[in-house]
Amino acid sequence: MTSVNSRRRRLLAVIAVGAAASLLVVGFFAGRWFKSPAQAALEVAPPPETELTAPIEYRVLQATIVTRGEVGASVELGFTPMSGGATAAQPVVTGVRVKPGEEIGAGQVVMEVSGRPVLTLPGVVPAYRDLRPGSRGKDVAQLNSALVGLGFGPTSAGELFGPETKSAVQRLYDSIGYPPATTGESDQLAVKAAEKNVTALEDALADLQVAEPGPDADGLQKKISRAKRDLSGARSELAELRAKSGAMLPLSEFLFVPNYPARVLAVPSLAGGPTEQGGGGEPGKAQTAGLRISAGELTVTAKINSSDGRRIGVDQPVEVFSEVLGKSFTGKVLSVGELTPDAGVPPYYPVVVRPDSPLESKLSGQNVRLTFTGAPTPAKVFVVPISALFSKADGSVNIVRRLPDGRRDTIAVTPGTNANGLVSVEALSAKLNEGDRVLISSANLSDTTGPPR
């Protein structure tokens, strides 16, 4: 009987444990499937409002503008000869003596077109015509000065392409291994004819001067006088022909470069290609003799957006940083152009920066970082993020200070200098303290628990 009772108690215990486990499982799933209205509302409610704050700073505020710019020379020249020599059907590139990036000097042959050299000469007046014997002008004076500087004469530089200039041009071409271009075969034939005429008149005069006077002495003297006049005229004509003929400098064989050393930007990629008549060539194509040269000091050109451009002025300090060289250079704003519209991009101000010391030539053509530094505030000021300012209906500008106990304190301020997302503020009545926290993001900045001050 006792054993039967014992088995019955064990069976009841097992049943009780199983029932309890079943209740636990049912309760777990019921809790996941069935929620009270309060719990459901809590789960779909938005997160609590987040308040972002920033400290009030007390310091000097200085504006900086960071952008990119291109390094290049102050002058860029393009050259394509308009003729390749008297016998060439069209100009043809027959030699390239320089390569992109190479520095070139005055009097250097940079390329050859149809067997003729192309020279660089110092001068600020652009070449625009053939320089021939007898020519006058500022470009001739520039040529004379260039020839003097290169050591070829003439002894006195002026605006006339005279016999001394002609001799100096001859010496220049001798130094580079080419015969000089001349004014042409017709001029040479005219000179020879004039020389023969002078010789003939000289002989005729000599014969008259040794002839016996005879009975008509007066007639002989008249013949001698006429012969002298004819000879004088012939000699003048010969001198004029000589002055306007001979060695010359064709426009197709030289270009004036204002500053040295100059740097080659682009050359024809292949020799032997025909050139286009006039205009600049496209680098890398054999069908053009286009040569591009940069000359003068290296400057940096940038395009500044319309809002920042109004804050940049001449002589403003600039830091130039080259990521390629890992170097920084100082400079100043040289010029600020007019607001320039451009298709496809917002209007911009073209700004040129001149370095305080010459930039390395390897920087030419590089893209660099520019940091423009504006004038600082004259003394320390209270500074907050611009996003901390808000306006009220009455037009006042305010900030909201977050108090240690969580309350908000609205303070009317007068904003001042702004730079780099910050603005200086002056409280109209309340006292500001360095380190106080101001709201920069909240659902309602104007919602305060304390009275505005």
How does DSSP classify residue 131? Answer: B
pLDDT: is 189 or 177 the higher one?
A: 177
Whole-angstrom distance, CA of residue 445 vs CA of residue 210: 122
How does DSSP classify residue 160? Answer: B
Evaluate if residue 9 carries a pLDDT over 60: yes
Please give the CATH number for the structural domain made up of 64-70+297-373. 2.40.30.170
Give the strand pairing for 116-122 and 254-257.
parallel
Evaluate if residue 101 carries a pLDDT over 90: no
Instruction: Tell me the pLDDT tens digit for each residue of 111-164.
Output: 999 899 999 999 999 999 999 999 999 999 999 999 999 999 887 768 999 999
Contact 54, 440 (CB under 8 A): yes
pLDDT: is 18 or 299 the higher one?
A: 299
Instruction: Tell me the pLDDT tens digit for each residue of 320-371.
Output: 999 999 999 999 999 999 999 887 788 999 999 999 998 887 888 899 999 9
Per-residue confidence (pLDDT) for residue 36, from 0 to 100: 64
Three-class DSSP category at 45:
coil
Per-residue confidence (pLDDT) for residue 303, from 0 to 100: 94
CB atoms near residue 340 (< 10 Å): 13
Q: Bridge-partner residues for 322, per DSSP? A: 327
- Amino acid at position 107, single letter: G
Per-residue confidence (pLDDT) for residue 4, from 0 to 100: 56
Looking at domain 52-59+378-441, its CATH architecture is Beta Barrel (2.40)
Give the strand pairing for 345-355 and 340-342.
antiparallel
Q: What mean pLDDT comes out for the span 48-61?
A: 86
Q: What percentage of the chain carries pLDDT values higher than 90? A: 43
- Amino acid at position 283, single letter: P
Instruction: Tell me the pLDDT tens digit for each residue of 158-167.
Output: 899 999 999 9
Two structure tokens written together for 413: 């301020």
- pTM of structure: 0.57
